[in-house]
């Protein structure tokens, strides 16, 4: 039996009177690309922040490889193989693209002190170069990240999440604000990374063509609740989902 990589059980998080996440349960299987869709404010980012130790859930459990990680912080989760991209760009504009990638991996290693005593480059440069080639950003690798187009910065941002060689990557709106001509390229890249690393991804995105094409299964959230979980074909044919979200 294939144990799920990630199990979320009855997760709840409220902000005052707002039940941002109201009892969400789902599994992500090894190698799976799992989509999370839903209207603005339906709790998708709050769910991610709980899964990443950024906020502590009020109730519920998160199991990674069968172990309860619900109360661990972001650094510990990163060490256990969870990577992420944020809804907003996190690149350092004044640093080169390549240095952004190297620093992203060093963060994962922990304290500044730990990094200062870490032996030199220790393979990080080679790993950054491999990702730079895979992401087709070699021609801008030595430019300051802030000088790139928004779409290219978004690619750097996604590449940064892969520097720590995570088993599970959570991507919050990888296509947001990106020129439509780049969206297909992001999808192709994520498919390649999924195949070559057998990594699992959870992807929040409003671009339905992207989600339907990329994801193996999709969860629909509405007002902090799970409305449906299924394959893209099942979600497309779900009347309740069409009425609440896709039909609009
Ligand atoms: N730090 C916070 N303090 C108070 N309320 C919050 C906070 N973060 C989120 N909320 C509220 O919780 C609800 C869920 O927000 P969340 O950001 O998780 O939604 P989302 O599905 O990611 O939306 P979007 O698609 O717009 O990114 C919203 O009503 C939001 O206003
Ligand atoms: Mg969000």
131 and 112 in a single domain? The answer is: yes
110 and 226 in a single domain? The answer is: no
The total of other beta-carbon atoms located within 10 Å of residue 228's CB is 17
CA 5 to chain centre: 15
pLDDT in the model for residue 107: 65
pLDDT at 76 > cutoff 60: yes
183 and 75 in a single domain? The answer is: yes
8, 51 Cβ separation under 8 angstroms: yes
With tokens 């390549």, the residue in question is 98
Whole-number Å distance, alpha carbon 87 to ligand 2 midpoint, is 6
User: Which residues, including other chains, have CB under 8 Å from residue 236's CB and lie 6 or more apart?
Assistant: 212, 246
Whole-number Å distance, alpha carbon 55 to ligand 2 midpoint, is 14
Q: What is the mean pLDDT of residues 207-223?
A: 96
- Tell me 17's DSSP state: T
Q: Closest by alpha carbon to 45, among 166, 204, 201?
A: 204
Kindly report the average pLDDT of the chain as a whole number.
90
Q: Residue 117's pLDDT band (boundaries 50, 70, 90)?
A: very low
Alpha helices in 80-149 (DSSP H): 97-108, 112-116, 124-134
Cα–Cα distance for residue pair 89/53, rounded to 1 Å: 19
pLDDT in the model for residue 84: 86
Cα–Cα distance for residue pair 136/184, rounded to 1 Å: 14
pLDDT in the model for residue 153: 93
Report which listed range, 64-78, 105-119, 120-134, 208-222, is most confident: 208-222
- Is 136 in a helix, a strand, or coil? coil
Read off the tokens for 137.
């950003």
For helices 150-161 and 97-108, angle between their N-to-C axes, nearest 10 degrees: 30
Residue that terminates a domain, selected from 111, 134, 165: 165
24 and 68 in a single domain? The answer is: yes
CATH, residue 238? 3.40.50.300
14, 59 Cβ separation under 8 angstroms: no
100 and 76 in a single domain? The answer is: no
Q: Whose CA is nearest to atom 1 of ligand 1?
A: 15
76 and 179 in a single domain? The answer is: yes
Tens digits of residue pLDDT in 90-108: 888 999 999 999 988 876 5
Range of the domain at 117: 88-165
Residues with CB under 6 A from ligand 1: 15, 18, 20, 38, 40-46, 87
Tens digits of residue pLDDT in 163-199: 988 999 999 999 998 889 889 999 999 999 999 877 8
- Choose the residue to mutate in 45, 55, 177 for probing ligand 1, maximizing ligand atoms within 8 Å of C-beta: 45
- Choose the residue to mutate in 22, 46, 205, 222 for probing ligand 1, maximizing ligand atoms within 8 Å of C-beta: 46
pLDDT at 109 > cutoff 60: no
pLDDT in the model for residue 119: 46
């Amino acid at each position: 039996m294939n144990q799920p990589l990630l199990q979320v059980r009855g997760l709840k998080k409220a902000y005052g009177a707002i039940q941002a996440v109201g009892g969400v349960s789902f599994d992500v299987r090894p190698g799976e690309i799992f989509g999370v869709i839903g209207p603005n404010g339906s709790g998708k980012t709050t769910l991610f922040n709980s899964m990443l130790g950024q906020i502590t859930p009020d109730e519920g459990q998160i199991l990674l490889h069968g172990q309860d990680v619900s109360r661990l912080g972001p650094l510990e989760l990163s060490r256990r193989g969870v990577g992420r991209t944020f809804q907003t760009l996190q690149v350092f504009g004044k640093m080169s693209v390549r240095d952004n990638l190297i620093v992203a991996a060093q963060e994962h290693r922990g304290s500044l002190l730990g990094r200062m005593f870490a032996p030199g480059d220790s393979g990080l440069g080679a790993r950054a170069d491999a990702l730079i080639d895979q992401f087709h950003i070699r021609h801008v690798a030595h430019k300051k990240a802030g000088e790139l187009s928004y779409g290219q910065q978004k690619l750097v941002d996604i590449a940064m999440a892969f520097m720590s060689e995570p088993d599970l990557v959570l991507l919050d709106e990888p296509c947001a604000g990106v020129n439509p001509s780049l969206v297909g390229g992001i999808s192709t890249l994520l498919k390649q990374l999924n195949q070559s690393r057998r990594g699992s991804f959870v992807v929040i995105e409003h671009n339905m063509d992207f989600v339907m094409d990329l994801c193996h299964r999709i969860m629909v959230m509405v007002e902090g609740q799970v409305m449906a979980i299924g394959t893209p074909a099942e979600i497309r044919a779900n009347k309740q989902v069409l009425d609440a979200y896709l039909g609009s």
